[in-house]
Structure 1
Amino acid sequence: MKKWVDVGVRETVLSVALALAACGGGAEATTSLESRSGSTTTGTATFREDGDQVTLTLEVSGATPGKHGAHIHQIGDCSAPDASSAGGHWNPTSHPHGPPDAEHHLGDLGNIEIGQDGKGTLKLSKTEWKIGDGSANDVVGKALVIHSGEDDLVTDPAGNSGSRVACGVIAKKE
């Protein structure tokens, strides 16, 4: 009888370990960025929860070389040709616009540097972001927007970063 119990416990532990490995341990949200305002800019973004922080990995292609402002906008709607349907910057804490830190908009992502090949990557983590919990700090249901120009990290509310060249609605990955 002891042998059967040991085998059953081992199988249960193995099943739990495999399930945890498959789900990565935390919530995840993603979006695919589509071109707007006549641009060729596209990309993907993944938000992954790990412990008390959420990390964004943003990958862009088809953009013009240089720095481009990247922001989370308040409305999860990219249907307008110029992405104006995404509304203004997501700012549930009512902080001023600026660098991507705790003293500024939760939607401030700073700039993504695009190389001569039209590609760029931005990685950023925040403890204030949440995924799918329905709170004011939840990124799900917002829009991620790439702008045509560099964010000056000062000018309220949008950093004088120009037109919206790519947009995608953030959705929780099940």
Structure 2
Amino acid sequence: MQSSKSKYLIISGIVILFLLIFPITIAFNYARDTASTKEISYNEFIRLLDEKQLSKVEVTSEELIITPSEGNEAYKGKILNTPNIDDETLISKLQEAGVEYEGKNLKETSLHNFMIIWIIPIGIICSIIIIPMAAIYFIWRFLSLKKENKRLRIQVKYLLDKK
């Protein structure tokens, strides 16, 4: 049976790991968002639309999520966004420019973002840190039980020989 000290050490180790995982996850998400997204003004969006430098626009109630065309060197590899200002002529402008567009439900987007922002990074960190530590703990526990079992066999043999 484990002593209260070893239980305390295990619990404090888990708490420390989670305190380390949280800032790492936030830093990972910040770096990913900074590298892959950029907010632009609505005027910049209209300019890019007029110059036919956009390939896709996702319209939500709050923002426009914009994918630049492959020929757009200024925003290559980035996802752009701008606030949705309820422009009544937006759909006709997108159609004239030949840009693919679709509406997005924010509930689906929120769940998707939650998975990408929290669950996947925490899963990766857990697989890198917690699983190896758990394996080391169980190996150590197995070896200590094996050693204790050997000691018990010696004691039993001694007691049987004493009779």
TM-score (ref. length: structure 1): 0.27
Q: Which structure's relative contact order is higher, taking Cα pairs within 8 Å and 6+ residues apart?
A: 1
Higher helix share: 2
Higher strand share: 1
Higher CA-based Rg: 2
